[in-house]
Amino acid sequence: QEQLVESGGGLVQAGGSLRVSCAASGRTFSRYIMGWFRQAPGKEREFLGAISYLGGSQSYADSVKSRFTISRDNAKNTVYLQMNSLNPEDTAVYYCAGRVGSLHSRSPSDYDCWGQGTQVTVSS
């Protein structure tokens, strides 16, 4: 399995943008569908989106599809989550995760490996 490490979280004002990254340390990164999730205090982990092996296809949750974009660079073993027009409801710990299989699976239990998460806080 890949070892995943997120970075780039922090504090941002409402209306701002932030890009978080997830670096993988294994040699099989390009074989994984990569997904992004988030979890706010007291809430379940929420699927945000996923990207296919070569990055040609993405799938997004309706709640973020107009504001968030996922991309990947397999040469750098890294997947990115670009977040625009952030609002305080986007405050959460953001996780990347990897799986082998369908791009369209949105359940956390379908993902095989996870990062430790990075905190994103949006101030009003």
pLDDT reported for residue 27 = 85
Provide the 10 A C-beta neighbour count for residue 105: 16
pLDDT reported for residue 102 = 82
pLDDT digits over 33-74, tens only? 999 999 999 999 999 999 999 999 999 999 999 999 999 999
pLDDT reported for residue 105 = 87
Which position has the token pair 């205090």? 41
pLDDT reported for residue 98 = 96
